Amino acid sequence: MQDVLICGGAGYIGSHMAQWLAEHGHRVTVLDNLSTGHRAAVRWGELITADLMDPAALERAFHGRRFDAVMHFCARSLVGESVADPYGYYSNNVTGTLNLLEAMRQHGVEKLVFSSTAAVFGHPATAVIDEEHPTAPINPYGASKLMAERFLADAATAYGLRSVSLRYFNAAGALPEHGIGEAHACETHLIPNVLRAALGKGPPLKVFGSDYDTIDGTCVRDYVHVQDLAQAHALALEFMKHQEGAHAFNLGNGRGFSVKQVIAAAAAVAGAPIPCTMAPRRAGDPASLVASSTKARELLGWRPRWTELTPIIESAWRWHRDPPDWSPDSPPLEQAAVNAERQP
């Protein structure tokens, strides 16, 4: 058993991480400022309400507690917003990470799993992206994550910090049976927006670009289930027991699906067509982003369970169809009462 501090554990991926660790016998503590996370999603372990931008709050969080490792999910993560507000992104994602690392050093915590992103790569130079692909981020979000990875490499040399950076491609899916899923007030991800359109909880889906050099002209992305991401983080904890230094792994299924393929799969799951409109390309959207996760499979022993698109979408569909009352997708209380009265 390990004592793990999950920074950002009230958010989408962090809450699934907490569930995984608790289910596998570890002790969990969550630290979150609740700016985008949800108090009700913290169902495993103690919640410390604190902000990485506040060193004094971090000192209080670490004081009197012993952690074997930290998992760091806290970040602002909207690409477009990062372009409009680069200072905010560098402040939060870079300075916040540095504050966390300093608190860990002061309290003798020597292992970190860092939530990174495929955005560190920028425009792909190859059909499938492995860890040797050049890192050339094209937006402040990706650049801020790459800066944090550099911190970890320098900390390994200077202080002996052991770290694993996990570069996600497209996290998706949910665990509705555990009451957790993707609950963003401002949703930018494709699969939840497709499902919200199907349920009438959002506007018709906008498909940005239909003239890419792909199978059907729409962008292609690699989708990995959030539970498989949690498994990879847990394996990273074991990896660091035996490996010094700073390491990075790409996480994806190794298969790409186009926007139109996602829409078709979602329509089959929902049993209804998805209302959508075509729109021009968005600046900075690569035609295709697909991961090679060979390194993670070989060195971490990672074996994703959710390898097909339809089950990933189906898990998300169940979450968005029947969200808990704390989710942004839940109906107002008066509408919820009407819905309850209509149940047979």
Active-site annotation holder among 12, 89, 90, 141: 141
Q: Does residue 90 have an active-site annotation? A: no
Q: pLDDT tens for residues 27-65? A: 999 999 998 888 988 999 999 999 999 999 999 999 999
The CATH superfamily assigned to 176-220+254-330 is UDP-galactose 4-epimerase, domain 1 (3.90.25.10)
- Is it the case that residue 339 has pLDDT exceeding 70? no
Please answer whether residues 162 and 232 qualify as being in contact, where contact means their C-beta atoms are separated by less than 8 angstroms.
no
- Is it the case that residue 187 has pLDDT exceeding 80? no
Q: pLDDT tens for residues 238-268? A: 999 999 999 999 999 889 999 999 999 999 9
- Is it the case that residue 138 has pLDDT exceeding 80? yes
d(CA 298, CA 151): 25
- Fold for 3-174+223-251, please state it: Rossmann fold (3.40.50)
- What was the pLDDT predicted at 337? 32
- Rounded to two decimals, the pTM is 0.90
How much of the chain exceeds pLDDT 70, in percent?
Answer: 94
Domain residue spans of the chain: 3-174+223-251, 176-220+254-330
Q: How much is the mean pLDDT over the chain?
A: 90
Cα of 114 vs its chain's centroid, Å: 11
In angstroms, the first-to-last Cα distance of the chain is 46
Highest mean pLDDT among 167-181, 228-242, 285-299, 324-338: 228-242
Helix (H, G, I), strand (E, B), or coil: what is residue 77? coil
d(CA 307, CA 341): 39
